[in-house]
Structure 1
Amino acid sequence: MHQGGPGQDRGIYLSLLASLRSRAQLPVVVFTFSRGRCDEQASGLSSLDLTTGSEKSEIHLFLQRCLARLRGSDRQLPQVLHMSELLRRGLGVHHSGILPILKEIVEMLFSRGLVKVLFATETFAMGVNMPARTVVFDSMRKHDGATFRDLLPGEYVQMAGRAGRRGLDPTGTVILLCKGRVPEMADLHRMMLVS
């Protein structure tokens, strides 16, 4: 299946996120099945700023407090600087290649509602209880170490189950991006329905 280039993805995400924002459907977790694509998607949204002045101030103070635990030179690591810039605009990235302190910061800011858009791999759905108003699947296919395959029902349910915050949202929204062909209904049923 054709995934589209970074430019096409940027346009898709800017349009989708503008729509979700106008319908008050943020925060959103975007599940992307590649660490590199998580980073690419977030970095490609350099024009997007989703936080207010007071939220930026709260994020800045929180980052300063947390990053004070790092040695001086570590505070200047490219990943730390880049993530700090993303977080100030309400964007976050969460995958196994992120420094543990940054993952913790992202999780805490997400739980406070200050990360409006989180690009994450499926590991975010496993151990962390962090529901969002909306979940987006960048694809319904993933590489399992040997080959590309459709998501299994248990995987889909685990991630889709993050949509809808208990006590806050009457319903959660799940969006499956179709960048290439639209999946067959039978394939969707196989993925979504646990037997």
Structure 2
Amino acid sequence: MPDLLLDRLAPIRAADAYDPDAVYSQFVEWTVARGLTLYPAQDEALIEIVSGANLILSTPTGTGKSLVAIGAHFAALAQGQRTFYTAPIKALVSEKFFALVDIFGAENVGMVTGDSSVNAEAPIICCTAEILANLALRHGTDAPVDQVVMDEFHFYSDPERGWAWQVPLLTLPGVQFILMSATLGDVDWLATDLSKRNSRETAVVTGVDRPVPLHYSYATTPVHETVEDLLATGQAPIYIVHFSQLAALERAQALTSVKIASREQRDAIADAIGEFRFTTNFGRTLSRLIRSGIGVHHAGMLPKYRRLVEQLAQQGLLKVICGTDTLGVGINVPIRTVLLTALTKFDGTKMRQLSAREFHQISGRAGRAGFDTAGTVIVQAPDHETENARLLSRAGDDPKKIKKIVRKRAPAGSVSWGEPSFARLVAAQPETLTSSMQMSHSMILNVIGRGGRPFDELRELIENNHEPRPRQRELARQ
């Protein structure tokens, strides 16, 4: 029989009062039974959680934040509480839902997204951040929530969606919060604010070394040559990062000219695919790519195609995956090497260089704990640098040929970047989180639907958030 973590609650619940030491001991025994050893940061985080403190956990990818979240849910159930896990994308919510079902049993875990609802009254709920934020707006302090685990909390700074990470902090003062991300920057201000709002101690666990170190390099060879070199030196699986879905698909199709998988590997992929049905034009393209050992992964794919790519990657069958920067959102795709095709992206308003947070969020996915001794992060030089390197290589050591080279420049009006930009990002710490609070009509309607004194509640939401005073006045005028 599986060792359900829930089974370990019986002796805890039989006691006359909640015993944090007993909760801690039972959870650690469960991890040991599964062959896991807690890192010091995990141990410290768990002790704070069972004691009832808020927790801000900012440790690198691969340091076991997911296990800390499981410990938090366990501690909540031990007290008969209702606990929510939130994530920024539905794919991650779904992934966590199935993982928690395996641990706590199907009857104890529910999932709520904009598309579906499963066991919505369960004591553990997996949902998107917006689902929880709207619940908090509708019910305020009466919301049926005792504990919240907010994964990928760096989305707090997202200009479009950050409000959903802030609203629960403002409107659920009785809740224990566990805020997790690999890239939070300085959070002392947040810890102080959180404790002031819910009268709990707030522990900050950060500054931990990665269990799998990263090696960084800059490539001036064309992408297909870089990929061939990585395959030849045993540095697969490789995730090639693009900043548009179309670019990811085009790259995958271009790489079919490279021998990615052997005959035996292609046969293994075909066996793993089995009777899976590729029912769309994109699906048929994906089928051809996958059978060559190349995956495609981005948020615009049908969930069934995205899950197939993830499952094949987890089985070690895909040597190369071409995707977008959704890789940085905690999706469980095992990667040894991250290859970034650019250090600029269009953010919906303008082209700009990646922030330190974005860069480290993506590059941190390289290196598989328990499999790799190191991860590799490579940034592909811009096209004009790659072309200049090719011309110099052809010229060899002949000074006359070198002198004749007309060096290419970055396209006029483009946002330029190069190896110095790369070096700065590698050395930089993630930026401090910045508030992105908004007030929309739907938010206002949710508060009004609460009844009571909605005008006072709205004024509190506008005047007592994390925005500076001028921005609060601007929100009030909207």
Structures share fold, TM-score greater than 0.5: yes
Output one character per residue of 1:7-33: Cα deviation in whole Å (capped at 9) or x when no partner.
xxxx82221111111111111001100
Superposed counterparts of 1:74-113, under 5 Å: 75-113=278-316
Q: Percent identity?
A: 32
1:3 — aligned with what? none
C-alpha distance 184-22 of structure 1, shift in aligned 2 (>3 A): closer
2:317 aligned with 1:114 = yes
Output one character per residue of 1:123-174: Cα deviation in whole Å (capped at 9) or x when no partner.
1220312231111110000111001111111111111011111122111111
- Superposition CA RMSD, Å: 1.9
Output one character per residue of 1:17-61: Cα deviation in whole Å (capped at 9) or x when no partner.
111111111110011001110011111122223223332222213
Residues of 1 paired with 2:264 and 2:422: CA distance? 42
Which structure's relative contact order is higher, taking Cα pairs within 8 Å and 6+ residues apart? 1
Deviation of 1:190 after TM superposition, in Å, equals 4.2
Residues of 2 paired with 1:164 and 1:85: CA distance? 28
2:342 — aligned with what? 139
Deviation of 1:184 after TM superposition, in Å, equals 5.5
The answer as to whether partners of 1:132 and 1:163 remain within 8 angstroms in 2 is: yes
Which of 63, 80, 85 aligns to 2:273? It is: 63
1:194 — aligned with what? 429
Which of 161, 183, 186 aligns to 2:418? It is: 183
Which of 13, 16, 23 aligns to 2:233? It is: 23
The answer as to whether partners of 1:27 and 1:117 remain within 8 angstroms in 2 is: yes
2:123 — aligned with what? none
The answer as to whether partners of 1:150 and 1:191 remain within 8 angstroms in 2 is: no
1:36 — aligned with what? 246
TM-score (norm 1): 0.83
Residues of 1 paired with 2:244 and 2:296: CA distance? 11
Deviation of 1:81 after TM superposition, in Å, equals 1.1
Residues of 2 paired with 1:107 and 1:58: CA distance? 16
Question: Where does the alignment leave 5 or more consecutive residues of structure 1 unmatched?
Answer: 1-10, 68-74
2:371 aligned with 1:161 = no
Instruction: Supply the AA of the counterpart residue of 1:191.
Output: L
TM-score (norm 2): 0.35
1:164 partner SS: coil
The answer as to whether partners of 1:48 and 1:89 remain within 8 angstroms in 2 is: no
Residues of 2 paired with 1:111 and 1:157: CA distance? 22
1:44 partner SS: helix
2:251 partner SS: helix
Higher Rg? 2
